Amino acid sequence: MFVKILLIVVFFTSMILIGFISRKHAKNVNDFVLGGRTVGPWLSAFAYGTSYFSAVVFVGYAGQFGWKYGIASTWIGIGNALIGSLMAWAILGRRTRVMTQSLSAKTMPDFFGKRFDSDALKIAASAIAFVFLIPYTASVYNGLSRLFAMAFDIPFTWCVIAMAVLTAAYVLLGGYMATALNDFVQGLIMIGGIIAIIAAVLNGQGGFTQALIKLSEVKPAEGETLAVAQTGVFDSFFGPDPLNLLGVVILTSLGTWGLPQMVQKFYAIKSEKAIKTGMIVSTFFAVVIAGGCYFLGGFARLFDGEAIYNVAADGSKSVAFDAIIPSMLSSLPDILIGIVIVLVLSASMSTLSSLVLTSSSTLTLDFINGTVVKKMSEKKQLLCIRIFVVFFIVVSVILAIVSMNNPKAFIAQLMGISWGALAGAFLAPFVYGLYWKGTTKLSVWAAFAFGVGITVANMFFKFIASPINAGAIAMVGGLIIVPIVSKITPKMKKEHTDKMFQCYEEKVEVTRRTAIEDK
């Protein structure tokens, strides 16, 4: 217990210290929200990666999908690295950085408002972002607190409240720069931690080969609805249910392209040259962290026991997916459990800070300023952002506690709802808006309506069994809807679109270095 407490104290002390050091970088709105657009490639890459992967992935997704798909769940981590990191940086990085600076856009809703010349779009996007970032934040608190409860035997509610207070202090002190600096330190902890934990867990099963042999002997439980219900499916290449596995890969990989807290990392990066370095570092980080988490979760069925089941009043049992990873780790030595806690804290605190900063700045800059209050001074905007940081955290904590008391509200479901609505609404209009002059205002409204509509309707009517698949359908559907609607709706004024894309086509004159060329 002393070792675990010591590691936690050191972690929190360093985090708050970085917050104090970064206060000088948070004196105006641009600095507080984007770090003055001067963040280097390594800090940006680690900020992207640590915002991407949190307790949601380590506890919720790794446990649930490792249980469902076995070792094939590693494909999710590979998809996260190639699609969610490498392709996201390559396709979105430069164009996002260049256009958002040209438009002086600080948030994704601000981008929509200026790119499509519509304050209504900006307000709608800010409302969507604020509402649907809340369940994501709640899912992070949920996963984080489960591990704390396992390690320290502290009631869940107190864990959530403690995390909320520390997150508030962390963000309020230093804004984006404090987040980026902490993300770098936390990312290094995550890389070392995940390697140590995988080695320890597999060693407890007799090594990698022996663990695979044991996994090959596991058969799906009676009553499980899997595509292939036979021995050997959980160590197979594509697992027992490849189609639903593909849905998870799409949601968790392609989804990052439309998440405000992820895309905003491109707004803040220092230069175009830094984007290339950031892309390589971010992809490596995703391979290690996401690949490692899902690989570890793939052995979940080797830890089948009473601790991972919910027992109903009638005696029936159901798998408590969020308890799987804590159960796998509970038998590790204290020093390794301490490393696990710091690892998940590192991942989660960075994600939480990114979420609350994105949501509060979006609501202030895109909804309050210019709509509720016609003209806010710089000082009032900063104060308002900080007030909404606290408000957002309080609401998220309440939702986390409520969801914890509902055994059917798994972490993966909360995150699926959040990512499905946000990426379903924003992904397609954002990507097309960066690349295609023909994207129309009505096509953006159609994408917003489709993404949010599918997600919310499925929450109530459940016409798509999994919220994960509903989210994947919302994303892919948006990519189809935007070009179709753009072709049949009124085009935007040519002068406006030409002005928007002028930043990519700016011409410069240079002195010719070679006067006589080889024939």
17-46 per-position pLDDT tens digit: 777 776 666 667 777 776 667 778 888 888
pTM reported for the whole predicted model: 0.83
> Count of CB atoms within 10 A of residue 92's CB?
21
Q: What is the pLDDT of residue 83?
A: 95
Cα–Cα distance for residue pair 519/191, rounded to 1 Å? 54
Strand partners, 317: 311
* Of 140, 144, 137, residue with least CA distance to 159: 144
180 or 518, which is more confident: 180
pLDDT of 49 above 70: yes
Q: What is the pLDDT of residue 168?
A: 79
Cα–Cα distance for residue pair 167/286, rounded to 1 Å? 24
Assign 3-state DSSP to the chain and report helix, strand, coil percentages, each to 5.
80, 0, 20
**What amino acid occupies position 291?**
G
| Residue 423 near residue 255, CB atoms below 8 Å | yes
What own/partner pairs with CB < 8 Å and gap ≥ 24 does 213-216 have?
214/302, 215/70, 215/71, 215/298, 215/299, 215/301, 215/302
Q: What is the pLDDT of residue 347?
A: 67
The mean pLDDT of 290-297, rounded to a whole number, is 91
Q: What is the pLDDT of residue 385?
A: 84
Q: Kindly report the average pLDDT of the chain as a whole number.
A: 81
294 or 350, which is more confident: 294
Q: How many residues does the chain have?
A: 519
pLDDT of 342 above 60: yes
CA distances to 210, 273, 379, 457 from 230, in Å: 20, 51, 63, 35
Q: What are the pLDDT digits (tens) for 107-127?
A: 898 999 999 999 899 999 988
298 or 400, which is more confident: 298
Q: What is the pLDDT of residue 197?
A: 84
Q: What are the pLDDT digits (tens) for 225-270?
A: 554 556 677 888 888 888 888 888 988 899 899 988 889 889 888 8
| Residue 3 near residue 337, CB atoms below 8 Å | no
Q: What is the pLDDT of residue 420?
A: 84
Q: What are the pLDDT digits (tens) for 416-456?
A: 788 888 999 999 999 999 999 999 999 999 999 999 999 88
pLDDT-above-70 percentage for the chain:
86
For the record, the structure tokens of 374 come out as 């016609």
| Residue 53 near residue 289, CB atoms below 8 Å | yes
Q: What is the pLDDT of residue 336?
A: 76
The mean pLDDT of 485-493, rounded to a whole number, is 94
Q: What is the pLDDT of residue 397?
A: 77
| Residue 181 near residue 43, CB atoms below 8 Å | yes
Cα–Cα distance for residue pair 340/331, rounded to 1 Å? 12
**What amino acid occupies position 40?**
G
The mean pLDDT of 183-200, rounded to a whole number, is 82
Cα–Cα distance for residue pair 25/110, rounded to 1 Å? 22
Characterize 215-242 residue by residue with b for buried, 16 or more Cβ atoms within 10 angstroms of its Cβ, and e for exposed: beebebeeeeebeeeeeebbbbebbbbe
Phi/psi region, residue 251 (left: phi>0; alpha: psi -120 to 50; beta: rest), is alpha
| Residue 317 near residue 309, CB atoms below 8 Å | yes
The CA-based angle 134-162-192, given to 5 degrees, is: 85
Cα–Cα distance for residue pair 400/135, rounded to 1 Å? 8
pLDDT of 408 above 60: no
| Residue 38 near residue 270, CB atoms below 8 Å | yes
CA gyration radius for the chain?
A: 23
Q: What is the pLDDT of residue 396?
A: 74
Q: Is 157 exposed, middle or buried (0-12, 13-18, 19+ CB in 10 A)?
A: middle
For the record, the structure tokens of 125 come out as 């996007």
pLDDT-above-90 percentage for the chain:
23
Per-residue pLDDT band for 504 (boundaries 50, 70, 90) equals confident
pLDDT of 219 above 90: no
Cα–Cα distance for residue pair 474/427, rounded to 1 Å? 10
What sections of 255-377 are H helices per DSSP? 260-268, 272-297, 324-329, 334-362
278 or 409, which is more confident: 278
Residue 301: DSSP 8-state:
G
Cα–Cα distance for residue pair 44/184, rounded to 1 Å? 9
Cα–Cα distance for residue pair 297/324, rounded to 1 Å? 8
Q: What are the pLDDT digits (tens) for 51-87?
A: 888 766 777 788 888 888 889 999 999 999 999 999 9
Cα–Cα distance for residue pair 60/73, rounded to 1 Å? 13
For the record, the structure tokens of 132 come out as 């649907």
Cα–Cα distance for residue pair 243/232, rounded to 1 Å? 18
Domains, the chain, in order of start with CATH, read 2-109+122-402 (1.20.1730.10)
For the record, the structure tokens of 69 come out as 């798909």
